[in-house]
Amino acid sequence: MKKPRALRPESLWRWLRRRVTGSAAVREAALWLRSWPLRLFHRRLAGRKMDRSEIGRMGEHIAARWLASHGRSVLHRNYRGVNRGEVDIVARHRDVLTFVEVKTRTSTAYGRPADAVGPGKQRLIQRGAQDWLRLLGHPRIKFRFDIAEVVLTEGELPHVHIIENAFQLPDNSMAGR
């Protein structure tokens, strides 16, 4: 299989569409290419309609690229802690460690994406953050919890909105630190 000469996302996307469209790896690569920051959103991917999980993964790709292009360094994506905690993106913003939850929607008809981060989801993210800090040996660094809202509207550019310091750890959760 001959690879394309130019490494622009448009030419890679065309090259990929001419190849096998049924495999999961090709669909994942297509998701990555389609999540380029300045590409219009289209619900069809490799010949079929995207499902909810693919839209969510595309939103995470877009949010990670947005964070990286706005001065934050993405340290890890989809971190799963040992105590059933999870964090979509762990990033550094200057001297602050940020734990970012990404919520993707194709419409705002049922409210903002951040409205889906309730107390249960916050506890899950907090457990993941505590596991991450435990791996680092509980350093005395500043950290916060952000929410990245990604709205994908058909035929438009993705809209990313970051809510910094969206929620806090409970006061007793870092006792003994």
Neighbouring CB atoms inside 10 A of 63's CB total 29
Tokens of 17: 């569409």
Q: Which residues pair with 161 in a beta bridge?
A: 149
Question: Is the dihedral angle over the CA atoms 39, 45, 50, 55 positive or is it negative?
Answer: negative
Distance CA 14, CA 90 (A): 32
- How many domains are there within the chain? 1
Domain limits at 46?
Answer: 9-174
- In 23-72 the beta strands, taken as DSSP E runs, fall at 44-45, 48-49
Tokens of 96: 């602050």
Q: Is residue 112 part of a domain?
A: yes
Q: Is residue 105 part of a domain?
A: yes
What pLDDT is recorded for position 42?
77
| Strand (E) or helix (H) holding 159 | strand 159-167
What pLDDT is recorded for position 169?
87
Distance CA 1, CA 128 (A): 41
pTM: 0.77
Q: Looking at the predicted structure, is the pLDDT value of residue 125 above 90?
A: yes
The answer to whether the beta carbons of residues 137 and 131 sit under 8 Å apart is no
Q: Is residue 1 part of a domain?
A: no
Q: What is the DSSP string of 67-124?
A: HHHTT-EEEEEEEE-TTS-EEEEEEEETTEEEEEEEEEES-STT--GGGG--HHHHHH
Number of H helices, E strands in the chain: 4, 7
What pLDDT is recorded for position 176?
45
What CATH number should be reported for the domain holding residue 76? Answer: 3.40.1350.10
What pLDDT is recorded for position 112?
93
Q: Is residue 16 part of a domain?
A: yes
Condensed to tens digits (0 to 9), the pLDDT of residues 100-117 reads 999 999 988 889 999 999
Q: Is residue 4 part of a domain?
A: no
Condensed to tens digits (0 to 9), the pLDDT of residues 44-100 reads 776 788 888 889 998 999 999 999 999 999 999 999 988 889 999 999 999 999 999
**CA 43 → CA 50, 84, 93, distances in Å?**
6, 32, 32
SS3 140: coil
